[in-house]
Amino acid sequence: MYNQRFPDIKPYLKTHSLMPENQETPIAFIKKDIVENPLFYRRNHFPYPMLSSSFYWLPINGAVKEPKLFSMQELIQFPAKKLKVVLECAGDKRSFFEPKVYGEQWGNGGISQGYWKGVPLKALLEQTGLKDDAKEVIVEGYDYGKQPGIDGIHRFARSLPLEKALHPDTIIAYEYNHQPIPFKHGYPLRLIVPGWYAMASVKWVRQITVIDSHFNGPFQSIDYVYYPHKDNNNDSFPVTNINVNSTIQKPNNMQILNAGRHTIKGIAWTGKGTIQRVEISTDNGQTWSYATIKSDHRSQYEWVSWSYEWVVSEKGEYTIMSKATDSYHQTQPMSPFWNRKGYGYNAADCIRVKVE
């Protein structure tokens, strides 16, 4: 796939910041339906945590009948679930918003996919039992620090409503792509919440606490909230499900092409349901045609690859767009839902090319 004579010529992550580390997947170069560790985007709020041996114990406490401490040995003995899951940062494509918004200026590479294996959180909560007034489940990571815009020092922690926590596909994972989870992606235990934006998938799980109230941690009451207005917090609501979306991987934006036949390629994904169709326009959205969706190994939480054969004879500039629709009849809009912190961008993907 890469240049044989120069094996060091290969894609790398696109760097936004190193402390904490934030780097994008070079999505145009991802040809497979799984992303291997070296090209898996990295999104961190804090410096990487220091892990001690006590890390191998997972406590579950709070509004449970019997608090428990699970060892790794115990966890891997539960019936395991392996799921192919898209993880997409809620800030993916933030840089495409107009007007621009503050925050990490992610392009289209805040997304990766692979196999996560672990034990359903439900199975663990069945062991501890839940008190009648249990409402939410907080999952806390080992990393902590200060973040601009948020007072004080916090650990990265988020809660799930009971319904999502007990969903059979919400897992405490210990493997990624059939290996122990790479350290930067949450070793040894990571919560995986398929279908939700990836802020929900807490890395380096330190403890799990069931509560009888609503958790107000800053990563769900300040950040990861949609604020539709520039100057006030009215009408805000939390970021949860991944929006239906697609990305054109080939050709590149602003590429120069020869007249003739070209394959337009990309991926499409959604948080709820499955991708039903992908439409392509090569005339700036005036007319649309169906792309062919590659249909092998499709499971609910993975992206689909699609392609479209484009025959172009006339020289000129072209605006190419892709627009996906899912089984809940959600279609990518032509313009994004603008929000002050720049989450959930999912307007039809758009590139320009010149045919010479």
Ligand X SMILES: Nc1nc2c(c(=O)[nH]1)N[C@H]1C(S)=C(S)[C@@H](COP(=O)(O)O)O[C@H]1N2
By the criterion CB under 6 A, which residues form the site for ligand X?
A: 40-45, 87, 89, 141, 143, 156, 185, 198-199, 201-204
CA distance 157 to 203: 9
201 binds, among Mo ion, ligand X, none (CB under 5 to 8 A by kind): ligand X
Q: Which residue is nearest to ligand X (CB)?
A: 141
User: Given the complex with ligand X, which of 32 and 261 has the nearer CB atom?
Assistant: 32
**Residue 306: contacted member of Mo ion, ligand X, none (CB under 5 to 8 Å, by partner type):** none
In the Cβ-directed half-sphere of 79, how many Cα atoms lie within 13 Å?
A: 4
Task: Report, in Å, the least distance between residue 354 CB and ligand X.
Answer: 34
Residue 42 interacts with which of Mo ion, ligand X, none, CB < 5 to 8 Å by class: ligand X
Give residues 16-45 in contact with Mo ion (rule: CB under 5 A): 43
Closest approach, Cβ 291 to ligand X, in A, equals: 27
Of the candidates 191, 206, 91, the residue with the CA atom closest to the CA atom of residue 143: 206
Q: At 164, is the secondary structure helix, strand, or coil?
A: helix
Tokens representing 88 are 């997409």
326 makes contact, choosing from ligand X, Mo ion, none, with CB < 5 to 8 Å by partner type, with none
Q: How far is the CB of 54 from ligand X (least distance, A)?
A: 17
Residues 184-223 within binding reach of Mo ion (CB under 5 A): 199
Tell me: does residue 89 bind Mo ion (CB under 5 A).
yes
Residue 89 or 165: the one with the smaller Cβ distance to ligand X is 89
Minimum distance from residue 324 beta carbon to ligand X (Å): 21
Smallest gap from residue 202 Cβ to ligand X (A)? 5
Q: Which residues of 202-214 are buried (b: 16+ CB within 10 A; e: fewer)?
A: bbbbbbbbbeeee
Nearest to 191 by CA among 177, 206, 212: 206
Helix runs in the chain, H state only: 72-77, 121-128, 162-165, 218-221
Q: Which of 320, 297, 296 is nearest to 246 (CA)?
A: 320
Q: Which residue's C-beta sits nearest to Mo ion?
A: 89
CB of 197 to Mo ion, least distance (A): 7
25 phi-psi bin (left φ>0, alpha ψ -120 to 50, beta other)? beta
